[in-house]
Amino acid sequence: MIFTGRRRSPLVVVLLLILCPALGLQSQAAEKPNVLFIGADDLRCDLACYGHPLVKTPHLDQLAAEGVLFKQAYCQQALCNPSRASLMTGRRPDSLEIWDLPTHFREVDADIVTLPQLFKQQGYFTQNIGKIFHNWRQKIEGDPASWSVPAVMHFARHDDDQPLLNNN
């Protein structure tokens, strides 16, 4: 737009002052942050970012420094399956009615939405590498509804290193 020296309407100036920053904010709001969720078995606080004096974890320390470090995250249940199902669904083990290792949360509530599903619904790529849903010897392997692609190195495919179970 070329200004020719004519006086502009105050309304136009006010609208431009309001709309220009708003348009810039809209484009910033459209950018989604990167999210990396790492779940590890029996890790406790044995990382340098949690203050462990001997363990050296520079890459995880950098991720923690640039992201979110959970300092008050508590286990929902003494067993890993109910605890993981609780973490990934946002529901307590008592409301999920999962108190053991083998029960798949989809057997209890087929329509429950998981944390990865929420991210997936918002356009994020979600992938499971390893074991996050602790279930094996079931009809449902992992939770395909939660992931953008099939799971890699899924726990259910490991037969020789299974925990001791009495299936009789």
pLDDT at position 157 over 60 = no
Nearest to 69 by CA among 51, 42, 84: 51
**Beta strands in the chain, from DSSP E residues, in sequence order:** none
Domain extent at residue 140:
78-168
Annotated active-site residue 20? The verdict is no
- From 49, 80, 104, 158, the catalytic residue: 80
Nearest to 99 by CA among 89, 88, 87, 86: 86
Annotated active-site residue 80? The verdict is yes
CA distance 86 to 71: 18
- State the pTM of this model: 0.68
Tally of domains within the chain = 2
- From 20, 49, 59, 134, the catalytic residue: 134
pLDDT in tens, 8-61: 455 544 445 555 555 555 555 568 899 988 887 777 788 999 999 999 999 999
Q: Do residues 116 and 107 make contact, with C-beta atoms less than 8 angstroms apart?
A: no
pLDDT in tens, 51-98: 999 999 999 999 999 998 888 877 888 888 898 899 899 999 889 998
Whether residue 48 is found in the same domain as residue 128: no
> How many angstroms from the chain centroid is the CA of residue 142?
15
Whether residue 63 is found in the same domain as residue 142: no
Tell me if 16 is assigned to some domain.
no
